[in-house]
A and B are shown apart, each in its own frame.
Chain A
Amino acid sequence: MSLGAQLPALLVLAPLAASALTFIAGRNVDRYVALGCAVVNTALAVALAARVLDVGAWRYEVGGWGAPLGIDLVADGPAALFVLLVAVVGLAVTVFATAYFHRDDPNAYGNGHFWTLWMFMWTSLNGLCLTGDAFNVYVCLELVGISAVGLAALKGDARALRAGARYLFANMLAAMTYLLGVALLYSATANLDMAMLRVVLAEGGPGESGAAVGIALMVAALVLKTALVPAHFWLPSAHSAAPTPVSAALSALVVKGTYFALLRIVLGMTPPGFVPGLNVLLGVLGAVAIIWGSIQALLQTRIKQFVAYSTVAQIGYLFIVFPLAGAGADVMSLALGGVLLHAATHGLAKSGLFMAAGSLMDRFGTDDLNRMRGAARTAPVLTMTVALAGVTMMGLPPSGGFGSKFQLATASISTGQWWWAVALGLGGLLAAAYMFRVLAIMLSGPADALAPADAAIRLEWLPLGLALAALFFVFAAPLVNELAAIGPLLASGAVTP
């Protein structure tokens, strides 16, 4: 077996090793271990994507057992894209964190533990993206959840702990629901490999309704983890109470990882219509999320809450793909390409936006949006970052958000379900309303006082770079669409063991 074929395993093992190393290493070394791992991981992710583009999707049998007994990793196009997204944003978060968590600051909360937890989260995210096994999804979900809760509560103050606890309970609820679902699914099919399950389920057979209920529960659990309205209740507090690099990672990556698992299960594993009404319900909830999240973002007065609610709204877009399932291959490739594009571009922009928001908060010494007047003059780079990320949130060209909105709208109209396109348009307008409300404050005068730039602020070009990448991401759409077509989600390159 060539080295290239081992990439999925390496992508899980490398951050796991780094996680252990940072735990052992001292304060002076841990950040460099993490940084090195981030670089290596990015290189591995690029290699994975390149290989997927080159040879197509493949399965990696962990330990050589092979499905159905063993656990297989699946390296297909969408997975490669998500791993790459995790790597790029992860690298940026790592660099940002090296400045954010001062080495010499005795009060820096969670100093040291951040790196371990962060590397561990990276491990589990990569695992979540690559796994092809329904139960392994559960394990990865819980690993992501535990590390995410730890990171969210990292500050250790009352607010962070309270948010962390809520996050934890939401995770527990989701974990148990998922486990119950998997149990039911297994009891009906005696199989856990998603690719095999698709074949089994498509043939139908005994215990069909048991499998359907199992899938429904798994989906419900993932909906909770992905914070789709009305299951978003844990997100705003958890994302806004966390330290800035963690907020960025949580908002940009964690919900994307769980979403990807959902995508695998609903589109890749379940035949269209197997759970009647499921897909439409997900679409409706997505549309509700777009509207409700945007309205709440419009009304928030604290900057991080504002950004968090914008995430709640943006997540909604990702669910518009489900009601379109079952349409022709060309329409589905538009729709799937659209949501993958949205996930990637939102990941880039949201991480940039959170970093900029956190920096603004630190410099103005407050998280009150109305006291950030004149930021356009006094902190032009951060304001520009907010503005450019905002363009992505609104889905205006040339951001990737535009590409995703266009593809999804086209796909919706092609299937005759034009109302999803209307929801997308409305969401863009509401996003403009909440983004420009904030930008108007930043552009208004006279300026509020702000603190001089410290080490973290010296990295203000980093979030700008992320926002810029998102701003021109529509030009990556051909690549994203190509990756979307490689693998079982579109059933064009189904990889069966």
Chain B
Amino acid sequence: MTSAFTGTGAFTFGLDETSIPFLALFAVVWLLSGLYTAITTPAADRPRLFAYYVPSAVGGIGVAAASDAVSFYLCFALMALPAWGLITHTRSAESRRAGAIYLTLTVVGEALLLAALVLLVVETGTTSLPGYRDAIAGLPSAALITTLVLATIALKIGMLPLSGILSLTYTYTPTGPAAALAGASTKVGALAMLRLLPAGGMPPGWADAVMVLGLTTAFGAAVLGVLTDHPRAVLGYSSASQMGLVLIAAGAGLSDTNAATLAYGAVVTYALHHGLAKAALVLGDDVVQRLSGRRARSVALAALALPALALVGAPLTSGFVAKYALKDAVHAVGGDISAAVYVGLSWAAVGTAALMLRFFALTLQPRETTPGNARGAALVWGLLLMLVATATWMWPSDWNQHAISSAFSLSSLWAALWPGLIALGVWGVIARIVPGGTRYRAVVEPGDLLTMVARGASRWAARADRPRPVAAGRSEARSSSLAEPLLGAERGYLRWTIAATTFVLVALALAWLALG
């Protein structure tokens, strides 16, 4: 198929080192979430839900497989825009607002991405996607392109101060689609990091700045998340926090070519790990609610601990490997800031652990759930859990070998454990001294800042377009205050003596002119 624009290429899709892991991740997540959605959604709602789900899934698969700029942009949009229908599926006022906010940010993100892609295509002279990351640093607009791409990614992954977007979308979307969003949608941000951010070659300041941004997001989102009181909202902030860590990895690769290789592996591993684990958490929360038997609930809760621990980076989990890879990358950058970030990484795990504790506390509270096939749902969830446990270890690649091989040293085990222990301790203290224990009320509503801005914006828009009265029949009744004096002047002039005298004066003036 000929491409839709300048005739310089075609819509092309293909597999390469980067696309394979993401394609696998997205396929699994969209498929299992889809299955889960099919099982848990009432038949009457299914057509409407899948009308949005399927295009989004197609876009998701396509964005991983795209190997030219325009296909990438097209699939990026195709995945993101229909998700609006998933978010607003319940048609509640909150979900509508969440949908509107989501759509706004998505559209802005699309615009930024388009700008970046146009710059890339024109300045590199090719639409081929895989070559961009090596070429960017040498382009005239390298800084602009990188900024645009970073902004696109920031919107996608919920970088501070936009972290609320993920909690908003997770909270109001039905469970199945929410798992897809959690597992796949944000990971498109990670994909964009690998495709469109320069692999080394930028001035060192870039790496430092982006790593600081990532670390800020990791901490900030964790704080916000702990202060909310819906399990999905917590997961949303957790995603933002985790993607902040991924951003650190991406940042690490911006300036230094060696670090870029390590960062590349870290991003892939982290995306893979986090995508599966977060999807499992979203589904797990719902499965726990659906199970009625006490024993089944206990088993489910125990199983839910697996992805939670993985997120915290507990030893032997996928998160452990991912975090190890991340630390390697940051370490490779060198410099004061990277050293500080390196330290911060361990402390970020404290935040993650706190979020998981808050999540469990909220999940344990009984909630209203839709009736449905609990067994089928649990089965799908079980499949996903198995992948969470094994995927990172089984992935045949070289970039996580180092992490895997060092996984069993004592020092690394300790490094992985202590943040969790600190969080647990603090949690115990809070449970004792805060009224209402660990089930305190929310301080932050889902979407935090974004929700407030959206309220203001809708008030502004509502003031618009007040009808103004049209001056009726102005053509007939000339209300002009000038009209009467002008008409009067002419009437007065038209009197014979005045007019004729004026003429005589004109004639005399002419004669006077003639005399020189």
The short answer to whether A and B are in direct contact, CB under 8 Å, is yes
Question: Chain B residues with Cβ under 8 A from A437's Cβ?
Answer: 475
Task: Flag whether B476 is at the interface (Cβ < 8 A).
Answer: yes
Interface string of A425-442 (1 = CB under 8 A from B): 000000000000100110
Interface string of A226-245 (1 = CB under 8 A from B): 00001101101100000000
B473 CB to nearest A CB, Å: 8
Task: Give the A-B contact count at a CB cut-off of 8 A.
Answer: 80
How many Å lie between the Cα of A233 and that of B496 in the bound state? Answer: 8
Interface string of B483-496 (1 = CB under 8 A from A): 10011001001101
How many Å lie between the Cα of A215 and that of B511 in the bound state? Answer: 8
A414 CB to nearest B CB, Å: 25
How many Å lie between the Cα of A215 and that of B513 in the bound state? Answer: 11
A273 CB to nearest B CB, Å: 11
Please name the 10 residue pairs, one residue from A and one from B, whose CB atoms are nearest each other, closest first: A233-B499, A220-B507, A212-B514, A216-B510, A216-B514, A277-B513, A213-B514, A275-B514, A216-B511, A213-B511
Task: Flag whether B503 is at the interface (Cβ < 8 A).
Answer: yes
Which of A43-51, A71-79, A91-99, A166-174 is near enough to bind chain B?
Answer: A166-174
Task: Flag whether B7 is at the interface (Cβ < 8 A).
Answer: no
How many Å lie between the Cα of A233 and that of B494 in the bound state? Answer: 5
Question: Chain B residues with Cβ under 8 A from A169's Cβ?
Answer: 496, 500
**B interface, CB within 8 angstroms of A:** 475-476, 478, 483, 486-487, 490, 493-494, 496, 499-500, 502-504, 506-507, 509-511, 513-516
Please name 16 pairs of A and B residues whose Cβ atoms are closer than 8 Å in the assembled complex, sorted by A: A166-B496, A173-B500, A212-B514, A213-B514, A230-B493, A231-B502, A233-B500, A236-B494, A278-B513, A281-B510, A281-B513, A295-B486, A299-B478, A299-B483, A437-B475, A441-B476
A333 CB to nearest B CB, Å: 27
**A interface, CB within 8 angstroms of B:** 166, 169-170, 173, 177, 209, 212-213, 215-217, 219-221, 223-224, 230-231, 233-234, 236-237, 275-278, 281, 295-296, 299, 370, 437, 440-441, 444
Question: Chain A residues with Cβ under 8 A from B475's Cβ?
Answer: 437, 440-441, 444
Question: Interface on chain B toward A: helix, strand, loop, or mixed SS?
Answer: helix
Query: Which residue on chain A has the smallest CB distance to residue B513?
Result: A277
How many Å lie between the Cα of A220 and that of B503 in the bound state? Answer: 8
A295 CB to nearest B CB, Å: 6
A240 CB to nearest B CB, Å: 12
How many Å lie between the Cα of A216 and that of B511 in the bound state? Answer: 5
How many Å lie between the Cα of A276 and that of B511 in the bound state? Answer: 10
How many Å lie between the Cα of A39 and that of B204 in the bound state? Answer: 96
How many Å lie between the Cα of A278 and that of B516 in the bound state? Answer: 11
B516 touches which one: A219, A230, A276, A299 (CB < 8 A)? Answer: A276
Question: Chain B residues with Cβ under 8 A from A278's Cβ?
Answer: 510, 513-514
B445 CB to nearest A CB, Å: 56
Question: Chain A residues with Cβ under 8 A from B483's Cβ?
Answer: 299
Q: Are A276 and B507 in contact (CB under 8 A)?
A: no
Q: Are A231 and B506 in contact (CB under 8 A)?
A: yes
How many Å lie between the Cα of A371 and that of B513 in the bound state? Answer: 48
Question: Chain A residues with Cβ under 8 A from B502's Cβ?
Answer: 230-231
The answer to whether A370 and B507 touch (CB under 8 A), given A212-B515, A275-B513, is no
The answer to whether A275 and B510 touch (CB under 8 A), given A231-B503, A440-B475, is yes
Question: Chain A residues with Cβ under 8 A from B511's Cβ?
Answer: 213, 216-217, 220
Question: Chain A residues with Cβ under 8 A from B503's Cβ?
Answer: 173, 220, 224, 230-231, 233
Q: Are B486 and A209 in contact (CB under 8 A)?
A: no
A437 CB to nearest B CB, Å: 6
B36 CB to nearest A CB, Å: 64
The answer to whether A299 and B507 touch (CB under 8 A), given A209-B516, A441-B475, A444-B475, is no
How many Å lie between the Cα of A215 and that of B499 in the bound state? Answer: 22
How many Å lie between the Cα of A230 and that of B501 in the bound state? Answer: 10
B494 CB to nearest A CB, Å: 5
Question: Chain B residues with Cβ under 8 A from A177's Cβ?
Answer: 507
Query: Which residue on chain B has the smallest CB distance to residue A209?
Result: B515
Question: Chain B residues with Cβ under 8 A from A173's Cβ?
Answer: 500, 503-504
Query: Which residue on chain B has the smallest CB distance to residue A230?
Result: B502
B371 CB to nearest A CB, Å: 64
Question: Chain A residues with Cβ under 8 A from B486's Cβ?
Answer: 295-296, 299
Q: Are A217 and B513 in contact (CB under 8 A)?
A: no
Question: Chain B residues with Cβ under 8 A from A212's Cβ?
Answer: 514-516
Question: Chain B residues with Cβ under 8 A from A370's Cβ?
Answer: 476
Q: Contacts A209-B516, A216-B510, A278-B513 known; list 11 others, CB within 8 Å.
A: A212-B515, A216-B513, A230-B493, A233-B499, A233-B500, A275-B513, A278-B510, A281-B510, A296-B487, A299-B478, A299-B486
How many Å lie between the Cα of A276 and that of B516 in the bound state? Answer: 7
Question: Chain B residues with Cβ under 8 A from A276's Cβ?
Answer: 513-514, 516
Q: Are A296 and B515 in contact (CB under 8 A)?
A: no
Question: Chain B residues with Cβ under 8 A from A219's Cβ?
Answer: 510
How many Å lie between the Cα of A209 and that of B512 in the bound state? Answer: 10
Question: Chain A residues with Cβ under 8 A from B496's Cβ?
Answer: 166, 169, 233
How many Å lie between the Cα of A169 and that of B503 in the bound state? Answer: 12
Question: Chain A residues with Cβ under 8 A from B514's Cβ?
Answer: 209, 212-213, 215-216, 275-276, 278
B500 CB to nearest A CB, Å: 6
How many Å lie between the Cα of A217 and that of B506 in the bound state? Answer: 10
B512 CB to nearest A CB, Å: 8
How many Å lie between the Cα of A223 and that of B509 in the bound state? Answer: 13
B134 CB to nearest A CB, Å: 60
Question: Chain B residues with Cβ under 8 A from A295's Cβ?
Answer: 486
How many Å lie between the Cα of A231 and that of B510 in the bound state? Answer: 14
Q: Are A216 and B507 in contact (CB under 8 A)?
A: yes
Query: Which residue on chain A has the smallest CB distance to residue B499?
Result: A233
How many Å lie between the Cα of A217 and that of B82 in the bound state? Answer: 86
